[in-house]
Amino acid sequence: MRLYRRNYNKAGKYTEYVFKIPLGLELKDFVDKHGKFKDGLNNRSARRINLKDFRNLKFDATLPKQIRAILENRVQLSKEIEMEYDGMLIMRVYDEGLQQSYDLTPEIIKAAKSWQVPLGVTLKGQVVHDFEKGPHILIGGATDMGKSNILNVIITVLLSNQPEDVEFTLIDLKGGLEFGIYENLPQVKNFATNAEEAKTALENVKDEMERMFNKLRSTGKKNVKALGVTKRHFVIIDESAELSSSGEQDREEKALKIECENLIKDIARRGRASGIRLLYCTQYPTAETVSSQVKRNLITRICLPVDTATASTVVLDEGGAEDLPLIQGRAIYKRNRCTQMQAYYISDEIIDKTVKPLIRIRPRKEERYVPLRKETPEKGGSYTTRFEET
């Protein structure tokens, strides 16, 4: 292979190599050997002197030994490789890979604009997801790999930056333990912990969606942004596998879950125009728990470590997540292409500081929605918009 260019990027801390791919080979041939390239780069250690260690020297008989240890200190290399193709093979070798943790700070939260949410860090920089451009997200990953932390990041950032305009339907099918802290917020319009409650919550969301579609049709607008509506309603389903009808033996329970599945499919298909955003999450990514109809409308994907290539394919439509290191928060974020990231870690302290003032200042209303059927005239007539003071 002929090397056309080699540059070191000081700001990005990487060396970029540009090659011409020989005839008969393609990018996939190199991507498939990513692990071998990485192991070859990191099969040795490098000397690293930390000047701060000199501050802790003890001036006694062991001083020469201490200085020798500092000067001879070696660390295992942890270089990382990225590859892409634009007519030439571009390989970037980063001096260091991703850290195992990056804290979400108030400064990072405040820097996010409009409906943007900072999700994590890649080798190239920050991942910021814009829910106006990618309204729905499919999130999958094995147990205890950081899925709930990502959801807490999204909820907290939205509450912090859009407290007047954000609304939530939280369906927590793990007993309400993950989302319990948010239950009494005025922004939470529906809260469910089982299939029966989930059905009611999803029906409420569908009623809201239909009301907005009626308004859009009557005004000739195509979506809520064109209509000037600033509110956005986020439907977050944690552990959607609990709503899967596949394998359910009880007839009534199966019928109930089928209704939930149909409601979710409808929200995924039509929710965008009406200002509804769907976050569909599961720790059991299979073809049964993540239907093709839902996947088609959830373009953005986040996959944390999974145990098989099949599970990775269910979430990402390709393998890769099965090879992620078993680090909480390590994930593949996919919009147009897959990018490995380390999700931000959000502390309970930041969540509490965001949530508690909202509960105290704006107490929860008991009445949520007026069902659509009570507002729709039986024959003809016109639609009347009713405003209620909260």
More confident residue, 332 or 79: 332
Please, which contacts does 319-324 make with residues 24 or more away whose CB atoms are closer than 8 Å? 321/140, 321/141, 323/35
Q: How does pLDDT run across 189-208, given as a tens digit for each residue?
A: 999 999 999 999 999 999 99
- Are 139 and 155 within 8 A, CB to CB? no
Look at residue 371 in the predicted model and tell me its pLDDT.
Answer: 55
**Can you tell me the mean pLDDT for 107-126?**
95
Look at residue 381 in the predicted model and tell me its pLDDT.
Answer: 46
* Residues ≥6 apart with Cβ < 8 Å to 135: 271, 272, 276, 277, 278
> DSSP assignment of 144-195, as one string?
TSSHHHHHHHHHHHHHHH-TTTEEEEEEETTTTTTTGGGTT-TTEEEEESSH
Q: How does pLDDT run across 74-89, given as a tens digit for each residue?
A: 665 578 888 888 889 9
Give the max Cα distance, the chain: 98
CA distance 52 to 47: 15
- Are 291 and 278 within 8 A, CB to CB? no
Dihedral (Cα; 268, 269, 275, 281), 10-degree rounding = 10
**Can you tell me the mean pLDDT for 308-328?**
92
Look at residue 11 in the predicted model and tell me its pLDDT.
Answer: 85
| Alpha-carbon distances, residue 327 vs 17, 75, 362 (angstroms) | 29, 20, 38
CA distance 111 to 309: 36
CA distance 382 to 369: 20
DSSP 292: H
Helices 348-361, 147-161: axis angle to 10 degrees equals 40
Q: Determine what percent of the chain is predicted with pLDDT higher than 70.
A: 90
Please count the other Cβ atoms lying within 10 Å of the Cβ belonging to residue 329.
Answer: 25
Q: How does pLDDT run across 138-180, given as a tens digit for each residue?
A: 999 998 899 999 999 999 999 999 999 999 999 998 877 889 9
Q: Domains in the chain, start-ordered, CATH in brackets?
A: 2-94 (no CATH), 102-375 (3.40.50.300)
Q: What token pair was written down for 61? A: 């008989």
Classify the phi-psi angles of 5: left when phi > 0, otherwise alpha if psi is within -120 to 50, otherwise beta: beta
More confident residue, 218 or 383: 218
Q: Which of 93, 19, 101, 85 is nearest to 328 (CA)?
A: 101
Q: Show the CA angle centred on residue 105, arms to residues 99 and 106, nearest 5°.
A: 165
**Can you tell me the mean pLDDT for 63-80?**
78
Is the pLDDT reported for residue 362 higher than 70? no
Look at residue 33 in the predicted model and tell me its pLDDT.
Answer: 84
- Are 187 and 168 within 8 A, CB to CB? yes
CA distance 52 to 226: 57
Look at residue 389 in the predicted model and tell me its pLDDT.
Answer: 45
**Can you tell me the mean pLDDT for 93-118?**
93
CA distance 232 to 35: 42
* Residues ≥6 apart with Cβ < 8 Å to 246: 288, 289
Look at residue 78 in the predicted model and tell me its pLDDT.
Answer: 73
Is the pLDDT reported for residue 377 higher than 60? no
CA distance 185 to 257: 27
Confidence band for 90, pLDDT divided at 50, 70 and 90: very high
Look at residue 379 in the predicted model and tell me its pLDDT.
Answer: 46
Q: What token pair was written down for 199? A: 């059905």
Is the pLDDT reported for residue 269 higher than 50? yes
| Alpha-carbon distances, residue 86 vs 18, 81, 157, 273, 355 (angstroms) | 10, 17, 36, 35, 46
CA distance 193 to 156: 20
Q: Which of 136, 135, 117 is nearest to 127 (CA)?
A: 117
